[in-house]
Structure 1
């Protein structure tokens, strides 16, 4: 059925993935500067000293320069490690040492700290395909972050990292989808 949210999500993800894949190197470089500047501002303004962030893959919003800044400024950073059971483990890292994880995504190398350590962070930065005007996050379809965020008793602020054209009027939502508190784009920090 065409109106099934999972089918609509699948089609939207394909469109967004293609849009990311075709961005030019100049667009990516400019976006990276904006992402880095706005992530630094978010962390500084929130007073966060312990954050969770992901290692960006090739076509994702680039987190690498921000992670270098965080490391240089003493911001402790947790990185997600995908498990085969659909949950996330975590490790602390420098944002440089990495290996290929499940699904071919970059993951940090480090001591596994287990899934509960995420409860200690001050701020969570998550990947997203898109986010809508009410904070509904469209992930990439595996549900890792939705499960993690949905299981937290006291969740700190959660911000998704997206390109400006991925902040949409609406995205399909299913019962398991967890909203975010805001987005960081190359040009803005938007809190819902």
Structure 2
């Protein structure tokens, strides 16, 4: 850290890795029942955060390492006039693609063995739900460090509604955002909806 208290690049990288490890460990320490209750509450609040989903494409995710499990909520979107998509890593350091997914569609193992649609129409989502490891009140999301979501959002022609989801215990004072970090419009946890603060 410099004399004026500003964290330098190597410090940010080291700090983020340390925070990421700590937050994931705390998340995995939650009981299965607590994670289920939190996930159900997050799903309820997502309905409020998004509003009417009819005619919109909503990109979700397949839960990984204790993330909120929103699969039941995603499966209900079709009955409400929406289409669900899942993000797919096509190659390193490239934007994600989003493939339409319905319950029962064939899945294959993607990066980190996370299931992704084996086939399906590629779409541009109207709403992107991004799982987070940590977050701050500025709407910035601490992810896994691969930069896929930031890279993808920066490349999209039309900015979707971007909602980060995670547990309230994952809030930190700041993630020390860098120029490539793109803030979420809203962050939904089991205790409420955080709207990005100005500045």
TM-score (norm 1): 0.87
Question: Which secondary structure does the structure 2 equivalent of 1:184 belong to?
Answer: strand
Q: Tell me what 1:171 maps to.
A: 175
Q: Secondary structure at the match of 2:25?
A: helix
Structure 2 residue 7 is the aligned partner of structure 1 residue 7: no
- 131 and 109 in structure 1: CA distance in 2 versus 1, 3 angstrom threshold: same
Contact kept? 1:159, 1:182, Cα under 8 Å: yes
Give me the whole-angstrom Cα distance separating, in 2, the residues matched to 1:151 and 1:178.
11
Query: Which residue in the other structure is 2:81 paired with?
Result: 74
Larger Rg: 2
Aligned counterparts of 2:63 and 2:32: Cα–Cα separation in 1: 16
CA drift of 1:53 comes to 1.4
Q: 2:114 aligns with which of 105, 109, 115?
A: 105
Q: Which runs of 5+ in 2 are unaligned?
A: 2-6
RMSD, aligned α-carbons: 2.1
Preserved contact between residue 79 and residue 93 of structure 1 (Cα < 8 Å): yes
* Contact kept? 1:100, 1:106, Cα under 8 Å: yes
Question: How far apart, in 2, do the equivalents of 1:13 and 1:149 lie?
Answer: 21
- The alpha-carbon deviation at position 41 of structure 1 amounts to 2.4
- The match for 1:94 is 102
**Shift >3 Å, 4+ stretches:** 45-48
Contact 2:58 2:128 in 1 (8 A): yes
Question: 2:90: which partner in 1?
Answer: 83
1:156 and 2:156 correspond = no
Residue 132 of structure 1, CA deviation? 0.5
Three-state SS of the structure 1 residue aligned to 2:47 is helix
Aligned residues: 187
Aligned mates of 1:27, 1:155 — CA distance in 2: 33
State TM-score, norm by structure 2: 0.84
CA distance in 1, matches of 2:91, 2:172: 31
8 Å Cα contact 2:127/2:162 also seen in 1:
yes
- Higher percent of residues as helix: 1
Give yes or no for contact 1:8–1:172 (8 Å, CA) kept in 2.
no
